[in-house]
Amino acid sequence: MATNDESLAAILARIGLQRLGIENPDESQGLDASQLVRSVVVLDSMRAEILRLQQDAVQAARAQGVPWSLLGDAMGISRQAMQQRFGKEGLKLSSDSARVMLGPTTRGDEVNILEAAGLLGWKLRASRHGEHSVEMTDRKWSVRRDSMLSLRRVEQKSSREWEVAAVRFPDVFYVKDQGGL
């Protein structure tokens, strides 16, 4: 957990360095050209993930009835600009038949639906509020959902048993291989 005086930029820089395999920030002072190029790619992937999480947060707010005008005011843009920026985004899925969309679901029933699908071999791949992309496998899967806002950190899950399958603000979905069908 970040300390109160640690800035968001410092937290993101630390995550970026970790993704580059640099655990000691002092080592980042003498990055060579290839490491600097990789850092551009790492930061771009982090930006994309932050934008996706922001999209999820907007969808969650809209699902709770928060009007576009209030969201726009909070962002310092108009209602129309907010709708244009966040209104029509959706999951971009492959069109292959081994991958399908489950939904609509509610927060109350989504884990049960995903768990039932998992026992039939469908593995969770991506999530949005009210819909989940699943892919057919030859394995059974258990599904678990935790809040990324909880005090427990994602990394503290037993990585040998549970793997992160999808992140949708404010939730992290985990899957666990239960063996072959």
The pLDDT, as a whole number, for residue 88 is 61
Number of neighbours of residue 27 by Cβ within 10 angstroms: 13
Mean pLDDT check: name the lowest of 38-47, 63-72, 127-136: 38-47
User: Does the pLDDT at position 145 exceed 80?
Assistant: yes
- H-helix segments, the chain: 8-19, 33-63, 68-75, 79-86, 110-119
Q: Is residue 72 a contact partner of residue 79, using CB atoms and an 8 Å limit?
A: yes
Q: Per-residue pLDDT for 83 more than 80?
A: yes
The CA distances from residue 179 to 22, 113, 138, 165, in Å, are 36, 19, 9, 17
Q: Cα–Cα distance between 64 and 144 in angstroms, integer? A: 23
Residue 154 has a pLDDT of 47
pTM: 0.54
Q: Contact 142/176 with Cβ under 8 angstroms?
A: yes
Amino acid at site 144? R
What pLDDT shows up at residue 93? 35
pLDDT value, residue 50: 84
Kindly tell me if the per-residue pLDDT of 23 is higher than 80.
Answer: no
Say whether pLDDT at 92 is over 60.
Answer: no
Q: What is the pLDDT of residues 99-130, one digit of tens each?
A: 788 878 888 889 988 988 888 889 999 998 88
What's the rounded Cα separation, in Å, for the pair 179 and 67? 45
- Taking all residues of the chain, what is their mean pLDDT, rounded to a whole number? 79
User: Domain residues of the chain, as ranges?
Assistant: 8-86, 99-180
CB 72 within 8 A of CB 78: yes
